């Protein structure tokens, strides 16, 4: 049995070397300008890493790596005037390390080898993206997102603070990172797919942060790009998909049993949103090409912070209203907080239901009241940001979606 595993691990090392070597062979060139390593060199190096660990362990692997480094350095200095890059040299060391990794974790080594081969094969596309497609603002936003996700978030304490123990700093930071990531996803969608589909996907993505502000954004764009009026109106309506999906995710994450009382409104909301938005987007005009995409930052950090702070404030207010006025206070809070954004209000209602402070069959009214007041604010924002024509397309759709969700209450519970 151990011999069979050994042969499988050796075959994995050979396969990794052949895969990486095949890609390098295609770029090796010919004559005096050819690269020093190709298919055979990478295959042998990967096998060498496996055999070295098998025979002598990590210490012998270190000596082999030093010897390989001397050979690679000599080859690099010999070809320095033709090709100053070190991609093949670094790839050769990686092949040695992956071959050694096949001794203990062949599956991981294979996965890394495949990714590495893909990166090597995508040289031109990656260079073009970095030099011609990626802007300075997008690079800055990407770094901010990585710092927030990988540095700040792990350091934030995970405990409840403040009055009524309603504020969790880890939750606030996590929501901020999520909203920045969603905004970046929407930005990539518009840059990749163009205005017709890109704005729609961007609206759905940014709707997870704030559907109301998404409507305002689409309205502002519509005022500047009247040729895309229908597409932008459909995108604004499609932001309801994010709202409805988030309601389902919040309820399911907090207490799955809550979905038994809300599946009807959620389903009706999804269907009415898709039908109305589809009527605006299709059939697509054939004579007009997509408008050029205006480049800018990948996300709006100020918007993300504003939404998260609003959520924290609404959660604190809901806790205070519950403590003072009971369930009636929660319903009133849901209505008024829905004018800003429905997400936090619904999360608060779901948390109260999970804690046993609200009956499970009593969440539909507070949730739909928050949705209705949020729909009202969206209609006002649409008129103010996009004007009469934009509101003329958006408001009927928002009314249909809201009425559809209320009608879903009449469907029998599961």
> What string of DSSP letters covers 334-396?
HHHHHTT-HHHHHHHHHHHHHTTSS-GGGSHHHHHHHHHHHHHHHHHHHHHHHHHHHHHHHHH
Instruction: Supply the pLDDT for residue 342.
Output: 64
Paired residues of 160 in beta bridges: 168
Would the pLDDT of 399 be above 90? yes
Q: Structural domain of residue 224, as residue ranges?
A: 134-408
In a domain? residue 414: no
One domain, residues 271 and 368: yes
- CA distances to 300, 305, 350 from 154, rounded to whole Å, are 22, 18, 26
23-34: average pLDDT: 64
In angstroms, rounded to a whole number, what is the distance separating the alpha carbons of residues 395 and 408?
20
In angstroms, rounded to a whole number, what is the distance separating the alpha carbons of residues 8 and 208?
46
50-61: average pLDDT: 82
pLDDT confidence of 1, banded at 50, 70, 90?
Answer: very low
Which of 403, 267, 366, 315 is closest to 259 using CA atoms? 267
Average pLDDT across the chain, whole number: 75
One domain, residues 84 and 172: no
One domain, residues 183 and 260: yes
Burial class (CB in 10 A: 0-12, 13-18, 19+), 178: middle
Backbone angles phi, psi at 168, to 5 degrees: -120, 115
One domain, residues 331 and 266: yes
One domain, residues 312 and 360: yes
289-312: average pLDDT: 58
The CA-based dihedral angle spanning residues 350, 351, 355, 357, taken in that order and rounded to the nearest 10 degrees: -60
In a domain? residue 102: yes
One domain, residues 105 and 189: no
pLDDT confidence of 123, banded at 50, 70, 90?
Answer: confident
pLDDT confidence of 251, banded at 50, 70, 90?
Answer: confident
The residue out of 129, 148, 167 marking a domain boundary is 129
- CA distances to 30, 177, 198, 212, 392 from 215, rounded to whole Å, are 58, 21, 15, 5, 13
How many domains does one find in the chain? 2
The residue out of 101, 129, 157 marking a domain boundary is 129
The residue out of 109, 129, 149 marking a domain boundary is 129
- CA distances to 7, 364, 400 from 263, rounded to whole Å, are 53, 10, 18
Q: Do residues 269 and 244 touch, judged by C-beta distance below 8 A?
A: yes
In a domain? residue 413: no
Instruction: Supply the pLDDT for residue 289.
Output: 45
182-192: average pLDDT: 66
99-124: average pLDDT: 86
In a domain? residue 395: yes
Instruction: Supply the pLDDT for residue 271.
Output: 93
pTM of the complete model: 0.56
């Amino acid at each position: 049995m151990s011999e069979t595993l050994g042969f499988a691990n050796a075959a994995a090392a050979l396969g990794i070397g052949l895969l990486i070597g095949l890609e390098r062979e295609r770029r090796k060139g010919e004559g005096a300008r050819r690269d020093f390593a190709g298919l055979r060199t990478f295959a042998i190096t990967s096998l060498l890493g496996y055999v070295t660990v098998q025979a002598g362990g990590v210490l012998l692997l270190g000596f082999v790596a030093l010897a390989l480094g001397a050979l690679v350095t000599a080859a690099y200095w010999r070809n320095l005037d033709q090709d100053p890059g070190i991609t093949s040299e670094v790839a050769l060391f990686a092949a040695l390390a992956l071959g050694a990794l096949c001794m203990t974790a062949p599956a991981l080594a294979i996965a890394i080898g495949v990714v590495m081969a893909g990166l090597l094969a995508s040289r031109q596309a990656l260079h073009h993206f970095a030099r011609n497609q990626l802007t300075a603002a997008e690079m800055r936003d990407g770094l901010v997102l990585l710092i927030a996700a990988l540095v700040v978030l792990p350091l934030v304490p995970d405990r409840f603070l403040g009055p009524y123990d309603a504020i969790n700093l880890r939750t606030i930071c996590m929501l901020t990172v999520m909203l920045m990531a969603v905004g970046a996803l929407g930005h990539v969608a518009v840059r990749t797919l163009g205005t017709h589909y890109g704005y729609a996907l961007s609206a759905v993505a940014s709707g997870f942060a704030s559907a109301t502000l998404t409507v305002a954004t689409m309205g502002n764009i519509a005022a500047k790009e009247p040729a895309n009026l229908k597409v932008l109106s459909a995108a604004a309506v499609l932001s309801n998909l994010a709202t409805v999906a988030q309601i389902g995710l919040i309820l399911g994450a907090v207490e799955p049993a809550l979905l038994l009382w809300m599946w009807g409104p959620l389903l009706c909301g999804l269907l009415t949103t898709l039908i109305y938005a589809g009527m605006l987007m299709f059939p697509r005009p054939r004579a007009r090409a997509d408008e050029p995409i205006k480049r800018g930052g990948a996300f709006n950090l100020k918007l993300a912070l504003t939404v998260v702070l609003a959520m924290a404030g609404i959660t604190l207010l809901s806790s205070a209203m519950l403590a003072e006025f009971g369930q009636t206070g929660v319903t009133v809070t849901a209505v008024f907080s829905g004018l800003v954004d429905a997400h936090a209000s619904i999360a608060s209602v779901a948390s109260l239901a999970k804690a046993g402070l609200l009956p499970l069959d009593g969440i539909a009214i507070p949730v739909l009241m928050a949705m209705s007041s949020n729909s009202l604010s969206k209609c006002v924002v649409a008129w103010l940001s996009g004007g009469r024509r934009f509101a003329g397309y958006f408001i009927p759709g928002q009314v249909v979606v809201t009425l559809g969700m209320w009608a879903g209450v009449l469907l029998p519970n599961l």
